[in-house]
Amino acid sequence: MSAATQAFLEMLAAERGAAANTLAAYRRDLDGAEDALGDLAKVPRAAVARLAGEWATLAPSTVARKASALRQFFGFAVDEGWRGDDPSGALPNPRQRRPLPKVLGHDAVRALLERAELEAATGKSAAVRQLALLEMLYGSGLRATELVGLPLSAVPRDAPLITVTGKGGQARMVPVSERAREALTRWTALRPSDPPSKFLFPSRGGKHLSRVRLFQLLKELAARADLDPAGISPHVLRHAFATHLLEGGADLRVLQTLLGHADISTTQIYTHVDAARLVELVNSRHPLARRGRTD
């Protein structure tokens, strides 16, 4: 990696508070571009234009992500005086539609919870941990990284809230349901203390449970609950949290705060998912709808 791209990544971490996963993704994309073109601070515009052919077989979402990383780098390079031009205009700009999130129905969530509760009733620490993880994913809408990285000190005592550090190091307060608090209490009573770890869900090495292992645990639980494991993941449960809240009448701005979305447009994806509720809202609240009933 060139000194220029390394400096760009350091800027993202220091000034924008980019998360480790974000930095890793930028590093991969910039490394790939440098392998194809050479030093990005010096590469000519004509060479940048060749990336469209290099990326021709990639999915539009992947091309858009790579192009975004390069645009940001080139803007940084111009600001630093390393380049006299910004060749971003030569990058491909694929049109893509944001996919609708997978929706997990109430019955499927109920089946997962019932199975997890049945297994936790055995008192085994792994089963109790599994229930606590599930309750936090569905009950508070946490991202996988946010959940596994929770410190032990985050466990609520009196206030029914938990402080979560989300993308970009942004902290937010998230409510914890009574069910989740009860599951967390059961888990902390069984949580191993050797080796010492500051994390709520420690691993055997003293660090925290990995995201990969969390995915595996959920898919294994889904199979035991007679659900398709392919349709279950931490993010699907986060989507279920958001969709079911919206169905219950939650305000979109409140939902944005709970999910930790920086932009309301990200939260608005759930209005497409909950189409049935929107139709009902128009039919019941629109002035012409009320007039029709009166007539």
The residues annotated as belonging to the active site are 143, 167, 235, 238, 261, 270
Token representation of residue 280: 């009902």
With H, G, I as helix, E, B as strand and everything else as coil, classify residue 171.
strand
With H, G, I as helix, E, B as strand and everything else as coil, classify residue 83.
coil
**In which region does residue 199 sit, left (phi positive, over 0), alpha (psi from -120 to 50) or beta (all else)?**
beta
Which helix H or strand E contains 175, and what residues bound it?
A: strand 171-175
Q: With contact defined as beta carbons under 8 Å apart, do 241 and 140 qualify?
A: yes
Spell out the alpha helix ranges (H) of the chain: 3-15, 20-37, 45-49, 51-54, 60-80, 106-120, 125-140, 144-148, 178-190, 211-224, 234-247, 252-259, 264-267, 269-273, 275-285, 287-294
Give residue 101's identity as a one-letter amino acid code: P
In angstroms, rounded to a whole number, what is the distance separating the alpha carbons of residues 77 and 202?
A: 41
Q: With contact defined as beta carbons under 8 Å apart, do 104 and 141 qualify?
A: no
In angstroms, rounded to a whole number, what is the distance separating the alpha carbons of residues 24 and 182?
A: 36
At residue 36's C-alpha, the angle toward residues 31 and 40, to 5°, is: 65
Give which of 88, 61, 72 is closest to 30, Cα–Cα.
72
Count of beta carbons in the 10 Å neighbourhood of residue 93: 14
